[in-house]
Structure 1
Amino acid sequence: MTGAGTDWPLRRPRLRWTADGTPESLDFGDVFAARAGAVAEVCHVVLDGLGAPDVWRRPGPFVIGETGFGTGLNLLVCWDLWRRTAPPGARLHWVSVEAFPLSACEAARALARLPALADLAARLVRAWPPALPGLHARALDDRVTLTLALGDVRDALPALTGPVDAWVLDGFAPARNPAMWDAAVLAEVARLSRPGARLATYTAAGAVRRGLSDAGFRVARAPGFGGKRDCLRAVFEAGSSSVPATPHPNGPRIAVIGAGIAGCAVAAALRRRGAGDVVVVDARGHPRDSLPPALLGLLEPRLEKADSPAGRLHAAAASQAIALYDALAAAGLNPWRGPRGVLAADRGRRDDAWRRAVVDRLSWPPERLALLDAATAARTVGTAPPGATALWHPRGGALAPPALLPALLGDTAVMTAAVAAVTPRDDGGWRVCDATGAALLDADAVVLATASDTARLWPAAALPLRPTRGQVSLLRAAGPDAAPRVAVSSGAYATPAIPDGAGGWIRILGATQEPWRPGDPDPYAPRAGDDARIRANLAAVWPALADALASEPTVAALAGLRATTPDHLPLAGPLFDAATVAANQGDALRRTGRAPAPPPAVTGLFTVCGLGSHGLTMAPLVAEMVAAQITGTPWPVTADLGAALCPARFAVRALIRGRPVGA
């Protein structure tokens, strides 16, 4: 099974339920929590062991790591106390590992016996990730984030980033599950720990005491709970940690340039991670005022037949985006439009054999991905598909950016201004300037979410961004039952029919895609003939659907620019000076073929760009990645996928080959 960014092995837990609703693991012969006094046990072992609430009474992010997520009980008890005692500007990040994940229904059943935590349990169950291996980052509310690594602890911990302020070691008794407690696991706990990190665990086994001590923790016994004699409490003291000794400074001013999907997603992620004062700057102003009301787009996971970083990133991004947009919908800010689901029915390279191979390799549950036969696909869409099969993405669908982008921004300030330059200040911050050179604002950090314009605003990086123009047609739809009844992707794409607010129905049919260069005609002006090209592309792949849409007239067109990269993956992370990278690492790269260290970055300057046609799918994940880097909090992706997003990767590849950067 390949899931949210990895191919780590996962196993379904074998459960037996006691009369009071407590799940017992048949794999390890142990219960997930005490049958009586489960919450009281967590309060004694975990909260008292970590020194809560005093330990988190400081502004900014506080990160708790856990081995053995189980039902999420440790998280819920800590969250309950944290929400009542943490400072207003604080943020809680819970990072956990689980190799035998429960389903959402099983978790709900297990937590139903704890009415005092019912409201938090309901939020957790709504955000419960699918049982797919890899990292799953979920915003549980505006101040609490869960990053759940589904996979074996020996695979997952080395792939995580710190720093961690406190640890809860769980995962059944060491005698029953020794792999969770071996020296390699405890060494990874130490690697991720901030100096002074607290640790609490339910066990007092001698091997665990010695292992923690060897890893650099000062360990003490404490009275156990109920019938248990002892538990352990520890503080990390050794110098082997890979994280800084002081927390990331809290409360900087951060300027996000660009109010498209990338910039709005960055602003939302920064706000969730407690980044301080965030302001978005865009020449068009707030997206609620600047976007065409009829604009629609698709969220369709990009799937790959073979395992690759691109395929893993897209799988992780789709899961993250769907969870975020569903959470907005649950909060009354629904960005989805029309019936849910996307049906993909390409021909050519992505034929029936390709689709079967993808479904077999991924092994996703049917509520995430299904292979439909032609008859089922026809009933779903309203017309026969072009092949014998089609891929069905039940959780995808059509999205309305005019609703989505303002929902992501919330109350984030938006400045209407055209940015001509960002320049470093003598004090280490940044100045954002207009075309006259006048300062628009000063900031401690800047994120360029400016598509292909990023190369103009920071030319020192020589980013290989390729502007691409696209145009879509706005059709007067025949009605809600007219094909396609759901979103479809097949050479062209089409949304389902959406109410136009005046008693009629509309849909989007798209899209053209062609390179755009400075000096070409205005990319935002609709071009005659593009509608015919879109319809011809659809007819070449799906004639029956093209015939069905022939009776729906085109009433308007929308055009714009997007930025792509040579490897079709976004750029997300710190920006750099290509000349500095060449001077510092060029010789080593040419000799060894790999970087001796991460490329030197320009302090306080970041980008999220190059999302291409996958902005609605990719933006939440890559925005969360940059927000994590700015705030010094754990990444939402594994380190190898973070490297695949690194903006300096093309410069490094050029230097390895002995070529000038940007050539």
Structure 2
Amino acid sequence: MSTDENSWSFTEDGTLYSKKFEDTYFMEGCGLEESREIFVQGNRIAGRLEQENQLVIGETGFGTGLNFLAAWDTWRKSSQTCRLIFFTCELYPLEQELQRQALGPYDELAELAKTLLERLPKAKQGFHLIDFEEGQVQLLLMFGDVKETFSECSLRADAWFLDGFAPSGNPEMWNDDVFRLLANHSREGTTLATFTAAGFVRRGLMQAGFAMEKVPGFAGKRHRLNGKFEPGTRRFAKLELPWYVLKQQVPQLEPLIIGAGIAGTSLAREFSKKGIASQILDLSSQVAQGASGNRRGMIMPLFTQHGNHQEMLTVCGAEYSLRLLQDLGIESEPHVYELDDKCENSQLYENAEKRHGSAYVHGEEKFPFAKQALYMQQSAVINPVEVCEAFLRDSQAQLIQADVVDIQREGEVWQVELADGQNLSTDTLIIAAGTKTRALIEKIYGESILNLSSLRGQVAHIKGEELSAFTDLPNMYGEKYLLRDGEDFLLGATYQEDDEDPNLRANDFAELAKALKDLLPDLEGELELTEGRTAFRCKSKDYLPVVGPMPDLEYFRETYGGNKRTHAASRLPEAEYMPGLFVASGFGSRGFTTAPLCARMLVEEIIHGHSFFPNDFRRHLHPAKFTIRELRRS
């Protein structure tokens, strides 16, 4: 089996071999024993799992996943009170069947290996957070080379598994740049273990701040290396720009979430997984009555020619959302076709097939509704209300019907005034109110700082008999989408910015009818559409969500504006945020694709003070992004 740059085979005893690196993935015939002795025992993982509340392991090269399975198996045999986080990178991901074959000989890991393979992403780019053991074991898998991925990672390791191919054949994994990256992502006392005893590796790690020692090698080899991070007076690069710094803000009171759509219910669910109860405020007594309330919705990535931030967020978000549906037993209809009847997207579809595992469908004989199409692996059609209801049930959060009229900071808490005169207090307030977010933020700041706008969308409901001439219609998307809704169909949606008209409009139905004719050219006549729904989606100026802590505007302007705008970031102090104030909004038409993952990342930041988002990615979502852009260029 091969990719463009690598190919594989198996040795006689069944050990996976890389032809590119001319090396096996582990020692022939004893890979699990090797992993346990060198990495698990070399870092004293078993004992530390009994002593710590959280243990973070970093690995240089995911490969077959054997080292992760060995660490997970060690956690299984512990008291299971410690949260295990395992972050790793992979430049040459294996096809699942090849990975299954490579792990096949290890019968005692069969259950774990099966679960791992079932949950691994179909996409082979981006960052993917995968939960096991109800979130007590977490795998962050980042596709790319070690420098690219670790440079953007904000996690710090308590233990390192250095397991790239042999230094002689893989110098890109073993050099001073990588060793400095390891140091930047370590704490004082972080341990390290590796199979090699190469002199330049030992010297390079010592230069980076690790105290190294040679210990007896595995299976007859003379030596290998163990180490411990002792930085002394060395200074290392900060992991994040000062205005986007991560800060832990653990709630002491019940978090208050404004908005009961997909963003709000996702946040409540993530808090509940941390053992924290929350309250949700919404104008309605039921969830998903705004933009999240159509009869059908899609989880679907947005593919681009060169893989920008929107593509990465929507692909990784779709993977995460689909796993959530599976975990919660929420029904969905898998896969959506994106249509291209003008053959304008051939290169884009080839890229999506290569990068993310979607299927590029050529020819009308294979797909009768367009000359070509993309069969999207990371996609599904859902009932949005059912998803939000399931998230609310799983969170056990209290949903309160209320109209928020004012928000004030008083002492250590936020006071939220409701229209009925009631006041609610919290030290953790998250505004996830869709198009109402902008007005609520203006109540706090006295000005608009998030560049959010409203998008009006009208959809049409079509009875199944009106399209009875077409059998087995798939869920498909062109200029508009046509989704199966039981025996009927949903057609949508129009797109009007800052149009606040809630009424169904005949001209919008006419626009949808024309779009239906484009999707189904063989449709006889034109349908008269009269039933549907209007909703308002919230989008940001740069079409990316806005998720994170809200800036202390006065501090930002004083610290990062004026003549300080040209100062090097390393010379500037860390940001101050409005204590306990967060936002999750601007998801546009892909809320069910991106909001669950963004909610996870935000709650991790609030509770633990770290993020699983790559740094560059987090900056593009951060609520301070618009303020910083204005200050640094003004």
Query: Into which bin does the TM-score normalised by the smaller protein fall?
Result: 0.7 to 0.9
Q: After the TM superposition, which residues 458-477 of structure 1 pair with which residues of structure 2 at under 5 Å, given as runs? A: 458-459=441-442, 460=445, 462-477=449-464
Matched residue SS, 2:93: coil
Of the three residues 80, 83, 91, the one matched with 1:91 is: 83
Measured in 1, the distance between the counterparts of 2:457 and 2:318 equals 24
CA displacement, residues 247-270 of structure 1 (integer Å, 9 cap, x when unaligned):
958775544332211223334445
CA change 1:599–1:541 in 2 (3 A) is: farther
Measured in 2, the distance between the counterparts of 1:637 and 1:366 equals 19
CA displacement, residues 348-397 of structure 1 (integer Å, 9 cap, x when unaligned):
xxx523x023235556268414153344331xxxxx43xx4334324423
Is 320-329 or 467-476 further displaced after alignment?
320-329
Matched residue SS, 1:536: helix
Measured in 2, the distance between the counterparts of 1:135 and 1:436 equals 45
CA change 1:491–1:430 in 2 (3 A) is: same
One-letter amino acid matched to 2:561: G
Aligned to 1:221: 214
Is 631-640 or 108-117 further displaced after alignment?
631-640
CA displacement, residues 292-311 of structure 1 (integer Å, 9 cap, x when unaligned):
99711123322334x3xxx5
TM-superposed deviation, 1:415 = 2.1
Matched residue SS, 2:45: coil
Q: Provide the aligned C-alpha RMSD in A.
A: 3.4
Aligned to 1:4: none
- Give aligned pairs, total: 614
Aligned to 1:457: 440
Measured in 1, the distance between the counterparts of 2:386 and 2:118 equals 22
Of the three residues 339, 346, 357, the one matched with 1:344 is: 339
Measured in 1, the distance between the counterparts of 2:374 and 2:195 equals 46
Instruction: Structure 2 unaligned segments of length 5 or more: list them.
Output: 241-245
Measured in 1, the distance between the counterparts of 2:84 and 2:526 equals 50
Matched, 1:494 2:482: yes
Matched, 1:190 2:190: no
Of the three residues 599, 602, 605, the one matched with 1:626 is: 602
Of the three residues 655, 658, 663, the one matched with 2:631 is: 655
TM-superposed deviation, 1:511 = 1.5
Aligned to 1:578: 553
CA displacement, residues 436-472 of structure 1 (integer Å, 9 cap, x when unaligned):
66443423x3332222222233222622211222222
Of the three residues 207, 210, 216, the one matched with 2:203 is: 210
Aligned to 1:514: 496
CA change 1:92–1:11 in 2 (3 A) is: farther
Aligned to 1:258: 259
Matched residue SS, 1:620: helix
TM-superposed deviation, 1:635 = 3.6
CA change 1:60–1:68 in 2 (3 A) is: same
Measured in 2, the distance between the counterparts of 1:50 and 1:415 equals 44
TM-superposed deviation, 1:286 = 5.6
Q: Indicate conservation of the 8 Å contact 1:263/1:449, yes or no.
A: yes
Matched residue SS, 1:233: strand
CA change 1:298–1:247 in 2 (3 A) is: closer
Aligned to 1:315: 311
CA change 1:345–1:448 in 2 (3 A) is: same
TM-superposed deviation, 1:330 = 3.8
Aligned to 2:284: 284
Matched, 1:642 2:633: no
CA change 1:154–1:577 in 2 (3 A) is: closer
Measured in 2, the distance between the counterparts of 1:545 and 1:625 equals 46
TM-superposed deviation, 1:474 = 2.2
Matched residue SS, 1:334: coil
Measured in 2, the distance between the counterparts of 1:637 and 1:364 equals 23
Aligned to 2:411: 426
Q: Indicate conservation of the 8 Å contact 1:250/1:276, yes or no.
A: no
Q: After the TM superposition, which residues 297-336 of structure 1 pair with which residues of structure 2 at under 5 Å, given as runs? A: 297-305=297-305, 307=306, 311-331=307-327, 333-336=329-332
Measured in 2, the distance between the counterparts of 1:548 and 1:64 equals 62
CA change 1:637–1:292 in 2 (3 A) is: closer
Matched, 1:172 2:149: no
TM-superposed deviation, 1:24 = 1.5
CA change 1:135–1:634 in 2 (3 A) is: farther
TM-superposed deviation, 1:237 = 2.0
Matched residue SS, 1:613: coil
Matched residue SS, 2:354: coil
Q: Indicate conservation of the 8 Å contact 1:60/1:250, yes or no.
A: no
Is 262-271 or 467-476 further displaced after alignment?
262-271
Matched, 1:32 2:32: no
Aligned to 2:243: none
TM-superposed deviation, 1:340 = 2.3
Aligned to 1:110: 102
TM-superposed deviation, 1:570 = 1.2
Aligned to 1:100: 92
TM-superposed deviation, 1:234 = 1.9
Q: After the TM superposition, which residues 47-62 of structure 1 pair with which residues of structure 2 at under 5 Å, given as runs? A: 47-57=40-50, 61-62=54-55
Matched residue SS, 2:40: helix
Q: Indicate conservation of the 8 Å contact 1:512/1:530, yes or no.
A: no
Q: After the TM superposition, which residues 234-273 of structure 1 pair with which residues of structure 2 at under 5 Å, given as runs? A: 234-238=227-231, 240=235, 242=238, 254-270=255-271
TM-superposed deviation, 1:490 = 2.3
TM-superposed deviation, 1:46 = 1.8
Q: Indicate conservation of the 8 Å contact 2:126/2:316, yes or no.
A: no
CA displacement, residues 558-603 of structure 1 (integer Å, 9 cap, x when unaligned):
3322111222111122211434322322214765799975764323
Q: Indicate conservation of the 8 Å contact 1:266/1:627, yes or no.
A: yes
Matched residue SS, 1:495: strand
TM-superposed deviation, 1:222 = 3.0
Matched residue SS, 2:212: strand
TM-superposed deviation, 1:225 = 2.5
CA change 1:600–1:251 in 2 (3 A) is: closer
Identity %: 27
Measured in 2, the distance between the counterparts of 1:327 and 1:454 equals 28
CA displacement, residues 174-220 of structure 1 (integer Å, 9 cap, x when unaligned):
23322212111010011011222222222222222222211112223
Of the three residues 71, 75, 78, the one matched with 1:78 is: 71
| TM-score where L is the length of structure 1 | 0.83
Q: After the TM superposition, which residues 500-579 of structure 1 pair with which residues of structure 2 at under 5 Å, given as runs? A: 505-516=487-498, 523=502, 526-529=503-506, 532-539=509-516, 541-542=518-519, 544=521, 547=524, 550=527, 556-579=531-554
Of the three residues 2, 8, 27, the one matched with 1:15 is: 8
Q: After the TM superposition, which residues 329-408 of structure 1 pair with which residues of structure 2 at under 5 Å, given as runs? A: 329-331=325-327, 333-337=329-333, 340-345=335-340, 351-353=342-344, 355-360=345-350, 364=354, 367-378=357-368, 384-385=369-370, 388-408=371-391
Matched residue SS, 1:612: coil
Matched residue SS, 2:134: coil
Matched residue SS, 1:575: strand
Measured in 2, the distance between the counterparts of 1:216 and 1:99 equals 26
Instruction: Structure 1 unaligned segments of length 5 or more: list them.
Output: 1-9, 379-383, 500-504, 659-663
One-letter amino acid matched to 2:96: A
Q: Indicate conservation of the 8 Å contact 1:342/1:394, yes or no.
A: no
Q: Indicate conservation of the 8 Å contact 2:251/2:607, yes or no.
A: no
CA change 1:98–1:258 in 2 (3 A) is: same
